[in-house]
Structure 1
Amino acid sequence: MEKITIVRKAQQEWMEFKKAVELEGRTGIAEITPNQHGRSWRPPIEGVYLINTDAAISSQMIRTGKGIVARNWKEEILKAWTIMEEKIGEPGLVEAVAIRTATQLGKEVGWRKLEIQSDCKSVIDCITTDSCNNCSYAIILEDMQKLGEFFDQCNFSFIYREGNEVCRLAKFTLNLVNYVY
């Protein structure tokens, strides 16, 4: 079962990458520098809190891990959360839950302007468009719409994996016993 999950995740990420490259080609972008298109982390505009999320799955350990890091426009890390659950999960669904959790945590802290980034393009696309065909995300997306009413501004964006340093935190989380804040 583990090999199938790994292969599916790799296929999903490859298709997301291939689609992104095709879209870049169609828009006439000749050369992509490291700071373009979410390939490296950049601070948000002043007054906005940027929250990066990632999820990891270990079918061997029967665990999922979520890493969430919040920074301000001064590039200061303000908060970091790790959440480990003893269960197996579908990669996109676990990523969607990580994004919803980041949104909830931003609300709990009282931030009114958020930018939430994830390296899971399929989930970000479901959030940012009205046409999501994945019914397993439906409840999560509905929760996020209700959460969005709290904020003055709440944007969701895709960042390439190499720009999302939180992926290391999510993998680390798999080895934890408890939630860490």
Structure 2
Amino acid sequence: MKAELGTNPSYTWRGIFEASGVLRAGLRRRIGNGLSTRVWSDPWLAGTKTHKVLSPRGEADESIVVADLLSADGRDWNVHKVRTLFLPFEQSYVLNTRINREDCEDDWVWNLEKDGTYYVKSAYRALVGDNVAEEGQSNVDRNMWVWKRIWKTDMRNKVVFEGTKVSVDKCVKRVSELLREMAGLREAVEEKRQGGEQEGVDKRGACVRWCKPVQGLMKINVDARVAERSGLGIGAVYRDEMGGIRWGWAERRRAEFEPSVAEAEAMLAGVRMARRMKMTDVCMETDCKDVIDAITSRRTGRSDFHSVISDILLASSHFRSVSWSFVRRNCNHVAHELAHFCPIGSSNLFDGTTLPRSIIDIANADLI
């Protein structure tokens, strides 16, 4: 990354050197213990274009590393140090950069892919300026399916082999029919995959109403709230087989993660609190499908999101039994309200007798 072009570079080395600019633009340090990432020279800030610190160093030590900005236990930012060293606009970026709390080393991640892994295709897209999102691939697949069907129709054969003219209206009508056919096929495949819609479960496998856990299980619903200048709100509710609330957890951190990372952080907080309260058999629920899919598939990656998922899997390995469920938003109302409850920089642990009346009313509505 720091090599020079030289005075008489070969054609191969020149090509590699030219591509290094793309690598520098896409690579970022993921913070673990912070010991190997230099504050002033390495790219490590989340949410910025260059990921490098722009605040003037002033009289600060040039060699300080990110670990010097962390709290004594290395699990959170030292807010006072951050406020002292960085300009106001950059302080929020520092506080929003996730720390991997499982005491791992700092690492490189590829910031141009969701999973943080480097792929040649994403480097190529960056090099040629093609910023088409991966989500657009589904549209490409759909268009290719339609065009292949048109290619095989009599309409195309008549135009190509017989010189027959076909009106634009007729072509549009045929394309519309094919799109409807494709939509119907997709719906049928999805319904078959889910085994049909079962009672209390929609076609995506999500619960459509909150249900009590079986005897001996504690059901834990979690949710996150992210709002500009309002920090990250987390809510978790712990309910027994009768539907009663044993505990409620609410906290508001000085961070503004991406939504999927925030939801994963909420799940991690719910799991850790369950461990702290010595729970052994739990059922975890969230209204974020990305989190459930990543946990159940044990999907690996190098991004902040996958870092949180790894923390969740590690923390949950201490349970005797654990299950993971995706639910609709209306099944997650109590956790949702708790995520809005705390002022920034605070947390609250409630038992069933100290919960706010508004939260109790929402929980009781689940049982009707």
Alignment TM-score, normalising by the size of structure 1: 0.78
- Cα offset, 1:178, TM superposition: 1.9
Which residue of structure 1 lines up, in the alignment, with residue 303 of structure 2? 135
What is the CA–CA distance in structure 2 between the aligned matches of 1:104 and 1:56, rounded to whole Å? 18
What is the CA–CA distance in structure 1 between the aligned matches of 2:307 and 2:331, rounded to whole Å? 28
Corresponding residue to 1:98 among 260, 266, 269 = 266
Question: Percent identity of the aligned residues?
Answer: 25
Pairs within 5 Å for 1:1-181: 22=187, 24-26=190-192, 27-29=194-196, 33=199, 35-36=200-201, 37-59=206-228, 61-132=229-300, 135-165=303-333, 166-173=335-342, 175=343, 178-181=346-349
- Cα offset, 1:25, TM superposition: 2.2
Gaps (5+ residues) in structure 1? 1-11, 13-20
- Cα offset, 1:90, TM superposition: 0.6
- Structure number with greater Rg is 2
SS of equivalent to 2:347:
coil
Contact 2:222 2:267 (C-alpha < 8 Å) held by counterparts = yes
- Cα offset, 1:176, TM superposition: 5.4
Higher relative contact order (CA 8 A, sep 6+): 1
Alignment-mate amino acid for residue 143 of structure 1: D
Q: Which has the higher strand share?
A: 1
What is the CA–CA distance in structure 2 between the aligned matches of 1:152 and 1:83, rounded to whole Å? 27
Alignment TM-score, normalising by the size of structure 2: 0.40
Classify 1:24/1:43 alpha carbon distance in 2 versus 1 (closer, same or farther; 3 Å).
Answer: farther
Contact 2:218 2:281 (C-alpha < 8 Å) held by counterparts = yes
- Aligned CA RMSD, in angstroms, stands at 2.4
SS of equivalent to 1:75:
coil
User: Which deviates more from structure 2 when the two are superposed, residues 77-86 or residues 137-146?
Assistant: 137-146
Alignment-mate amino acid for residue 341 of structure 2: F
What is the CA–CA distance in structure 2 between the aligned matches of 1:176 and 1:87, rounded to whole Å? 10
